[in-house]
Structure 1
Amino acid sequence: MVTLLLDSTALEVVLSFTERALTFRHRNLQIERTHIVKAQLTDDAWTWLRGVPDPGTYIPSAVAMGTWKSAGGRDFAVIRRRRPSVVIDLEGHDEFQRVILTTRHGIALVKALRMDAGEELEDVTDIVAQQPVPKARPAKPRPATA
């Protein structure tokens, strides 16, 4: 599973050795926060996949990893089975128009992107964990009905 690191200027998608081999990438994916237009959660990342691997690895309903080329541009995908994922739309990025990642930390990423991050790269789950938890308002007692 990819590791997501975030600071005040960039999101870094850290790939494991296996992910690097299957995506045919030699380095991690760096995305400036100014290029991120939208991040949304999905239960089925396969519906967001468009085009053909170029280069990439594709095993239907199991794995889709690498660069995907289509008429709409180039996308980067790390998809495993039918697991929760995040889709990040980019604008002005020199390499990709969209990034699709299977991660159990999608909610933390979306929350962290809305917050101001520090100057150093930090795991998105740690960023969200450091924020104060909002206090719930006490429930108002309901009047008894006759």
Structure 2
Amino acid sequence: MSLSASTTGSAADMSSAGIDTLATGSDSLIGLAVIGKVGLVLALMIGVILLGSRLIRRIGPRSLRAGQRIKVVSSAAVGQRERVVIVEVEGTWLVLGVGGGQVNKLHELTAPALSDPSSSPSSASEDSGKGFAERFATALRHNTGTMLKNHRENGREDS
């Protein structure tokens, strides 16, 4: 009987040691699961932030531009900080002087009507039927002829 009692006692010791081992292993598994969950939540939050910023960039400015009534037609620098700007506001062009923290109205014009492509100069309509190579050759001949003419005129002035 003592033999069976000692066998039973050692089995109980082994089962309690096994439970301790399982408990220790499950603690580390629980810790890894928590770290995984935290990492997943952080990745999702970063994804939501990036997606939101992309949507704001795509949707935001377009909605503002759709109702805009002011359009900058042209701009030219006059000095280091001064500019002359032509702005179109509801069919009127305003010529503005901008600089030094000030905006001054210089002149007011009516906006010209949009030009039709059919009312372009005749030389442009003649060239439109030609291919690129033909137009390039014509332009090259014209520019070479102008350069030769200027060279001859400059040569005569020297003598």
Using the size of structure 2 for normalisation, the TM-score is 0.17
TM-score by length of 1: 0.19
Name the structure where strand makes up a greater proportion of residues.
1
Q: Return the structure number with greater helix share.
A: 2
Instruction: Say which one has the larger Rg.
Output: 2
Higher relative contact order (CA 8 A, sep 6+): 1
